[in-house]
């Protein structure tokens, strides 16, 4: 076995897919390459490091061929895994893609859960997808003076791209902003337009603090509703916590 080559990718879908492209195109053999994320790396001995510059075109090619050869469902799992907070995701994704695209059988691979890399990608995708679903459930908007709906969240994985579609399909007529405090990013939606991700901008906290006149009243109504809908004889705070863990309650209207 020769020297191992480690491809350092940026922590983004494009970054990882470019890494997959470069590692594949290097023709060093799957056993001799490894993918890792750039930040907080543990450097290995006897390895060669290559920095991968994210490249939209290469990433697009990878995405398209995954779609074509593995199918939409598998592609979606792999895409969700790229949004995970895991530090090892890049290499698992590479191994999964290698299993799906090389060898005798090309095609859907995500069901092959005996393969450790596939199983890990599946788990990462499930965790990320589940967290996105939690924010379908527990994200709360408040109406600002300008009429814009504003929301803050603190997710573990990078779920904004996964929730954009849902909320803009649901509220096409609204202007809304979702601020991800962990990743310091915005999901912005202008009425009747496509949603976009905004990176590197802080919200205007002064404006975000000023809610509309009606907002307080609606909040009171909602809090009252949540109180009166519970049946005292069945009170069960453990069960409530199981379904609605504490970490999601930080920005929830009825929990404040």
Residue choice 13, 18, 82, 151 for contact with other proteins (CB under 8 A): 151
Helices (H), 26-155: 56-70, 72-82, 89-101, 116-138
Cα–Cα distance between 46 and 48 in angstroms, integer?
A: 7
Task: Output the smallest distance, CB 71 to other proteins, in A.
Answer: 13
Q: What H or E segment, with its residue span, contains residue 199?
A: strand 195-199
Residue 242 contacts other proteins per CB under 8 A:
yes
Listed as own residue / partner, the contacts of 171-176 with beta carbons closer than 8 Å and 24 or more positions apart are 174/149, 175/147, 175/148, 175/149, 176/141, 176/148, 176/149, 176/150, 176/151
In the shown chain, the binding pattern of residues 155 to 194 toward other proteins, with x for contact by CB under 8 A and - for none, equals: -----------xx-xxxxxx-----------------x--
Residue 254 contacts other proteins per CB under 8 A:
yes
Residue choice 60, 115, 161, 197 for contact with other proteins (CB under 8 A): 115
Residue 113 contacts other proteins per CB under 8 A:
yes
Task: Output the smallest distance, CB 147 to other proteins, in A.
Answer: 11
Window 206-225: residues binding other proteins (CB under 8 A) = 214, 218, 220-222, 224-225
Please, which residue, 58 or 120, has the CB nearer to other proteins?
120
Task: Output the smallest distance, CB 235 to other proteins, in A.
Answer: 5
Cα–Cα distance between 146 and 215 in angstroms, integer?
A: 12
Residue 235 contacts other proteins per CB under 8 A:
yes
Residue 233 contacts other proteins per CB under 8 A:
yes
Stretch that binds other proteins, among 11-19, 28-36, 41-49, 143-151 (CB under 8 A): 143-151
> Would you say 107 and 144 are in contact if contact means Cβ atoms under 8 Å apart?
no
Cα–Cα distance between 128 and 244 in angstroms, integer?
A: 17
Q: What H or E segment, with its residue span, contains residue 33?
A: strand 33-37
Cα–Cα distance between 232 and 228 in angstroms, integer?
A: 9
Closest CA relative to residue 6, chosen from 29, 45, 34: 34
Q: Which residues bind to other proteins, rule: CB under 8 A?
A: 111-115, 119, 123, 133, 136-143, 149, 151, 166-167, 169-174, 192, 214, 218, 220-222, 224-240, 242-244, 252-254
């Amino acid at each position: 076995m020769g020297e191992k080559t480690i491809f350092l990718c940026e922590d983004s879908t494009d970054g990882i897919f470019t890494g997959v492209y470069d590692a594949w195109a290097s023709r060093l053999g799957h056993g001799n390459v490894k993918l890792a994320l750039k930040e907080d790396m543990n450097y290995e001995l006897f390895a060669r490091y290559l920095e991968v510059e994210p490249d939209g075109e290469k990433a697009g090619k990878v995405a398209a061929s995954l779609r074509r050869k593995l199918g939409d469902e598998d592609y979606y799992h792999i895409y969700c895994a790229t949004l995970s907070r895991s530090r090892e995701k890049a290499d698992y994704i590479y191994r999964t893609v290698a299993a799906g695209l090389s060898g005798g059988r090309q095609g859907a691979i995500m069901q092959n859960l005996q393969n450790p890399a596939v199983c890990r990608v599946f788990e990462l995708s499930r965790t990320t997808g589940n967290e996105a679903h939690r924010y379908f459930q527990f994200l709360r908007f408040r109406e600002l003076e300008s009429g814009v709906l504003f929301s803050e969240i603190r997710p573990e994985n990078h779920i904004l791209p996964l929730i954009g579609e849902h909320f803009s399909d649901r509220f096409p007529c609204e202007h809304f902003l979702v601020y991800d405090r962990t990743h310091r990013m915005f999901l912005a939606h202008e009425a009747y337009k496509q949603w976009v991700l905004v990176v590197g901008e802080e919200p205007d906290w002064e404006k975000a603090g000023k809610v509309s006149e009606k907002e307080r009243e609606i909040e009171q109504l909602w809090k009252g509703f949540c109180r009166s809908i519970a049946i005292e004889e069945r009170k069960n705070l453990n069960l409530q916590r199981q379904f609605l863990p504490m970490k999601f309650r930080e920005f929830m209207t009825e929990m404040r």
